Amino acid sequence: MPDTYLIALVIILALCFDFINGFHDTANAIATCVSTRAIRPGIAIMGTAVLNFVGAMISTGVAKTIGGDIVASASMINELIIISGLCGAIVWNLLTWYIGMPSSSSHALIGGMIGAVVFSVGIAALNGFGILKIILSLIVSPIAAIAIGYATMTILFHLCKKFKPTDINVTANKLQVISAALMAFSHGSNDAQKSMGIITLALLSGGCIDTLEVPTIVKLLCAAAMALGTSFGGWKIIRTVGGKIFKMQPIHGFAADLNSAIVIFSATLLHLPVSTTHVVSGSIMGVGAAQRVKAVHWGVARQMVSAWVLTIPCTAVMGAAAYFIITTIMAAI
């Protein structure tokens, strides 16, 4: 199979991953505003799709981190390895979407790539420092979201204690439209860049480009795929994130959305990939704990944390298995 066909297949799979990421992670942007009924679901999804597209076009810093920090050198891998990593991530995303469990597409992609690289060419091909930086950003971001979410909600409680609950909810409902829009924009600014980085890595590895600069057409394709996936929605995960962690009022939804948008966009400015799923879930936990620690459904939270911990090792195995299966089939043809 000519390399051009393999590169085309990488692009198709990366766009499929972006599409799945879109409907898998729609919950991140709209679960809180749908849960509190601040925005009608259909309007929320379409607005999120548009803002995801706009957010995806503003920067390529995260894409360069993904493309340059996973492997030691683009010359050490080939398109089959990237295809295998993408397959592992896609399978995991579809599985967790099917059972309605919020899971990190970022973790899935990193794990799939690590597994495929290690199985095919060995651990020496990995960029240890780069992977450590990525994993630390994925670990620290939800912890920061919990802490800042707790602080944000505590401040809002103090600011609102002199007002009637009814007036607070009416105002928060209006403000939540703005905070949800910021969340959708920040989601696009970080998540869509991950596929941009993988496609750019494949183009560099295949000799189609000379430097790790994201071509404009790649930005447009990934932004469009993310927006299209978002427009389909991810209702199972929306229900889990929006209602099963903590029963929210509009003021809680506003605080969670605003907090998530700040954390995610800060990471984008620092060129760090983060899991929007983890950040949003962490924000909701922090906001809920500020209301009352026992108000948070920690059993659901523990299940989600388990999925977070399992994602990278499971997708690493899936990426390795995908490489084994693909190369075995190609050898037999």
Kindly report, residue by residue over 245-285, the tens digit of the pLDDT.
556 678 888 888 899 899 999 999 999 988 887 888 888 88
Across the range 115-124, mean pLDDT stands at 95
Q: How many Cβ atoms from other residues are within 10 Å of residue 143's Cβ?
A: 12
Half-sphere exposure (Cβ direction) of 41: Cα atoms closer than 13 Å: 11
Q: Is 170 a residue whose pLDDT tops 90?
A: no
227 and 28 Cβ atoms separated by less than 8 Å: no
88 neighbors 319 (Cβ within 8 angstroms): yes
Residue 47 is predicted with a pLDDT of 82
How high is the pLDDT of residue 1? Answer: 45
The mean pLDDT value for 206-217 works out to 90
Mean local confidence (pLDDT), 222-246? 67
Q: What is the mean pLDDT of residues 83-101?
A: 87
In angstroms, what CA-CA distances link 156 with 28, 143, 160?
Answer: 22, 20, 6
Say whether 124 sits in a helix, a strand or coil: helix
Q: Where are the domains of the chain?
A: 3-326
Summarize the confidence of residues 83-100 as an average pLDDT.
88
pTM, full prediction: 0.84
Q: Which residues, at least 6 apart from 55, have a Cβ–Cβ distance to it below 8 Å?
A: 184, 185, 186, 187, 188, 189, 190, 192
CA quadruple 322, 327, 328, 329: dihedral positive or negative?
A: positive
pLDDT at 322 over 70: yes
Tokens of 70: 């996973």
Coil/strand/helix, residue 71: strand
Radius of gyration of the chain (CA): 20
Residue-wise pLDDT tens digits, 172-201 = 888 888 888 888 898 888 888 889 999 999
Distance CA 7, CA 199 (A): 8
Is pLDDT of 28 > 70?
Answer: no
Q: Is residue 114 scored above 50 in pLDDT?
A: yes
The answer to whether the CB of 29 falls within 8 A of the CB of 184 is yes
Half-sphere exposure of 63 (CA within 13 A, CB side): 29
3-state secondary structure of 215: coil
- Which range of 83-97, 160-174, 250-264, 313-327 scores highest in mean pLDDT? It is 313-327
Where does residue 310 rank: exposed (0-12), middle (13-18), buried (19+ CB within 10 A)? middle
- What local confidence, expressed as pLDDT, does residue 242 receive? 47
Arithmetic mean of pLDDT, 18-45: 72
| Per-position b or e across 244-268, b if 16+ CB within 10 A of its CB | bbbebebbbbbbbbbbbbbbbbebb
Q: Which of 4-18, 56-70, 292-306 has the weakest average pLDDT?
A: 292-306
pLDDT band of residue 26 (cuts 50, 70, 90) is: low
Tokens 């309605």 sit on residue = 100
Spatial separation of the C-alpha atoms in residues 11 and 195, rounded to whole Å = 9
Token representation of residue 49: 């799709």
Percent of the chain beyond pLDDT 70?
86
For residue 234, pLDDT over 60 is answered with: no
Q: Which residues pair with 71 in a beta bridge?
A: 126
pLDDT on residue 35: 67
User: Please, is 167 exposed, middle or buried when counting C-beta atoms within 10 Å of its C-beta (0-12, 13-18, 19+)?
Assistant: exposed
Tell me, what DSSP letter sits at residue 176?
H
Predicted confidence at residue 201, as pLDDT, reads: 92
If you average pLDDT over every residue of the chain, what do you get? 84
Compute the distance between CA of residue 195 and CA of residue 40 in angstroms, rounded to an integer.
Answer: 30
Distances from the Cα of 77 to the Cα of 40, 85, 109, 142, 180, angstroms: 46, 12, 16, 31, 39
Q: Residue 7: CA atoms inside 13 Å, Cβ hemisphere, count?
A: 15
CA contacts within 13 A on the Cβ side of 14: 34
pLDDT at 149: 92
